[in-house]
Amino acid sequence: MRHVDFSPLYRSTVGFDRLFSMLDTLGQPDNGQTYPPYNIERTGEDAYRISMAVAGFGEEDISIEAHRNVLTVKGEKSAEQKGESELLYRGIASRSFERRFQLADHVEVTGANLENGLLHIDLTRNIPEEMKPRRIPIASVKDAKEIEAKAH
């Protein structure tokens, strides 16, 4: 994949550093990390859901942390869960994992549940009122003169 140089854009933009660094990392390989598989879906206008296949992991084996626009999901099986029987073949993966997701500004984790071997993490985008578009009334020139006259 070709590399894109964003340095000309740095000269004319302010506050987009995170966006450019995210675009830079898109070109880099993911180191072949494919475990555990996951889906990202839109469930509403401002609602999203990440579903991860975590068969063999219980609620006590998984931790979810959201910090500074990064959602981290970690899974680690404790060593004490080995039974008395001898394992002849392991087809269900129980290796530790860590997945990171970059969250956009104002996206918050609203909940998580583990159901039938799938971990569902619900996300919502809450844009503050001051960030939403607002309508600005246009005053006519006649109205502006009356306001100036009243001020004197």
| DSSP category for residue 85 | S
Mean pLDDT of 66-74: 90
| 25 assigned to some structural domain | yes
The helix or strand, by DSSP H or E, that contains position 65, with its residue range, turns out to be strand 62-67
What CATH number did the domain enclosing 128 receive?
Answer: 2.60.40.790
Q: In terms of residue numbers, what domain contains 110?
A: 36-79+88-132
> What are the pLDDT digits (tens) for 17-62?
667 666 666 655 555 567 889 999 998 888 999 999 998 888 898 9
Across the chain, how many H-helices and E-strands are there? 3, 7
Count other C-beta atoms under 10 Å from residue 106's C-beta: 13
The answer to whether the predicted template modeling score (pTM) of the entire model surpasses 0.95 is no
Tokens describing residue 74: 């970690």
Q: How many domains does the chain have?
A: 2
Confidence grade of residue 81 (pLDDT, cut at 50, 70, 90)? low
- 58 in the same domain as 93: yes
| 146 assigned to some structural domain | no
- 48 in the same domain as 119: yes
- 70 in the same domain as 14: no
CA distance 64 to 130: 30
| 147 assigned to some structural domain | no
| 137 assigned to some structural domain | no
Confidence grade of residue 65 (pLDDT, cut at 50, 70, 90)? very high
**Closest to 35 in 3D by CA, of 90, 75, 67, 88:** 75
| 138 assigned to some structural domain | no
**Closest to 125 in 3D by CA, of 16, 15, 43, 17:** 43
